[in-house]
A and B are shown apart, each in its own frame.
Chain A
Amino acid sequence: DAKTTQPTSMDCAEGRAANLPCNHSTISGNEYVYWYRQIHSQGPQYIIHGLKNNETNEMASLIITEDRKSSTLILPHATLRDTAVYYCIVRVYSGGGADGLTFGKGTHLIIQP
């Protein structure tokens, strides 16, 4: 799996858009970009994923650069409940279930009131 690089921490004001960057310069053509988050003392929660097109769901938007070497997770109107550690994961589907996710240290996003 390609390695990912994320900032250790970020602050964002409540109600503003939170933009979380992720660098994955060694990503290969069949690797997807997944985003999960982990709120304090809870299990990780899936947010969104994409291959090369931008994606949007009810939680967030994912912007992937044309060369796919980086991406940005956007939380459009951050709330205090969005304070969490956000993980960017690059993963190829290997089949056979041997696809445990590799979590790095992620970005600790703190939403300020």
Chain B
Amino acid sequence: NAGVTQTPKFRVLKTGQSMTLLCAQDMNHEYMYWYRQDPGMGLRLIHYSVGEGTTAKGEVPDGYNVSRLKKQNFLLGLESAAPSQTSVYFCASRSELSGAYGAKNIQYFGAGTRLSVL
């Protein structure tokens, strides 16, 4: 059972280039998330999805777009990369079967994508 898989693991871009980060989960989870983590800081939510065909903005959505065409995949796109987007990106997923009051609100994370924008 692979869990949450992120590709690529590393990438270097030049300013203005575009790229797509792929997140795939094999746990049949409804909810998926994209976070970024900058040095010495916690994770910040970029976008999330509550199901196939749905997306929503998180805390820091500017400069990113997402798509959830298939339940198992959540794509994060950078249309025109900027040095400020240099970061480690983490994808996560969780089941919709959370029970009452977050009793099982457990997110499962991928290993991350390290992105440098020069």
Chain A positions within 8 Å of B, measured between CB atoms, are 30, 32, 34, 41-46, 49, 51, 87, 91-93, 96-106
Contacts and interface: CB of A to CB of B under 8 A. Distances in A.
B109 A97 contact: no
Contacts of B49: 97
Interface residues of B, number: 35
Nearest to B33: A100
A33 B108 CA distance: 17
A93 B111 contact: no
Interface string B23-60: 00000001101010100111111001111000010110
Given A44-B90, A44-B109, A105-B40, A100 B102 contact: no
B17 interface: no
B11 to A, nearest CB: 16
Interface of B: 4, 30-31, 33, 35, 37, 40-45, 48-51, 56, 58-59, 90, 92, 96, 98, 100-103, 105-112
A104 B42 CA distance: 5
A105 B111 contact: no
Contacts of B92: 43-44
26 contacts: A34-B105, A41-B112, A43-B110, A43-B111, A43-B112, A44-B43, A44-B90, A44-B109, A45-B109, A46-B107, A49-B105, A49-B106, A87-B42, A93-B100, A93-B101, A93-B105, A97-B30, A97-B48, A97-B49, A99-B31, A100-B33, A100-B35, A100-B48, A101-B43, A103-B43, A105-B40
Given A96-B50, A97-B48, A100-B48, A43 B90 contact: yes
B115 to A, nearest CB: 14
Given A49-B106, A96-B50, 16 more contacts: A30-B101, A32-B101, A32-B105, A41-B112, A44-B107, A51-B103, A91-B102, A91-B105, A92-B101, A93-B98, A93-B103, A98-B50, A99-B105, A100-B33, A100-B59, A104-B42
A45 B51 CA distance: 23
